[in-house]
């Protein structure tokens, strides 16, 4: 891909990450486990697990946002560093959103056919939590589709360089 295409992609991802960071921060700064329990009685340990992973997602998105900002400010534009960063963002932010390592929630692969949201929880969760995920899911899906190229392209480059 040309520099201008990669740079444009990086700018789009930077804006996406900025919006995601703001949404995660807003939710986490205004929500505690007690708030979730007051909204809907449930498993406090499960709520704790979900909030823990949302905090990790926030950190991953902040790191991606910082890296994107630095790369976009560099002159000349570093295409290789940008592609590597987009690859990392794909794995740390996008894939973790849909399939967290701690299995706090999961992606329903059939959701594309049903028109429903793909993020599913193992137990019942409060509406505020569902709402936050619904608010973010569309943009995460859009960026996921755009960054899938870097998943395969970067791996191919790494294999060829060995």
Return the HEC string of the chain: CCHHHHHHHHHHHHHHHHHHHHHHHHHHHCCCHHHHHHHCCCCHHHHHHHHHHHHHHHHHHHHHHHHHHHHHHCCCCCHHHHHHHHHHHHHHHHHHHHCCCCCCEEECCCHHHHCCCCEEECCCCCHHHHHHHHHHHHHHHHHHHHHHHHHHHHHHHHHHCC
Q: CATH second-level architecture of 3-155? A: Up-down Bundle (1.20)
Q: pLDDT value at position 109?
A: 78
Alpha carbon 92 to its chain centroid, in Å, reads 7
Is the confidence at residue 68, as pLDDT, over 80?
yes
Quick: pLDDT tens for 48-57: 999 999 999 9
**pLDDT bracket for residue 117 (50, 70, 90):** confident
Q: pLDDT value at position 159?
A: 61
Query: Cβ distance 24 to 57 under 8 Å?
Result: yes
Whole-angstrom distance, CA of residue 147 vs CA of residue 5: 12
**pLDDT bracket for residue 148 (50, 70, 90):** confident
Instruction: List the chain domain ranges.
Output: 3-155
**pLDDT bracket for residue 3 (50, 70, 90):** confident
Provide the CB-side half-sphere exposure for 17 (13 A, CA). Answer: 27
Q: pLDDT value at position 153?
A: 62
């Amino acid at each position: 891909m040309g520099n201008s295409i990669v740079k444009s992609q990086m700018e789009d991802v930077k804006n996406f990450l900025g919006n995601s960071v703001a949404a995660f921060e807003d939710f986490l700064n205004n929500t505690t486990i007690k708030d979730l329990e007051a909204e809907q009685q449930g498993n406090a340990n499960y709520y704790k697990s979900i909030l823990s992973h949302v905090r990790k997602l926030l950190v991953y998105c902040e790191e991606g946002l910082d890296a994107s900002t630095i790369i976009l400010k560099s002159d000349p534009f570093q295409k290789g560093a940008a592609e590597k960063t987009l690859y990392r963002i794909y794995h740390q932010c996008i894939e973790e959103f849909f399939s967290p390592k701690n299995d706090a929630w999961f992606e329903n692969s059939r959701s594309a056919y049903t028109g429903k949201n793909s993020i599913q929880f193992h137990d019942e969760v409060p509406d505020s939590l569902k709402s936050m995920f619904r608010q973010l899911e569309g943009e995460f899906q859009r960026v996921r589709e755009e960054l899938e190229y870097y998943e395969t392209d970067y791996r191919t480059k790494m294999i060829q360089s060995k």
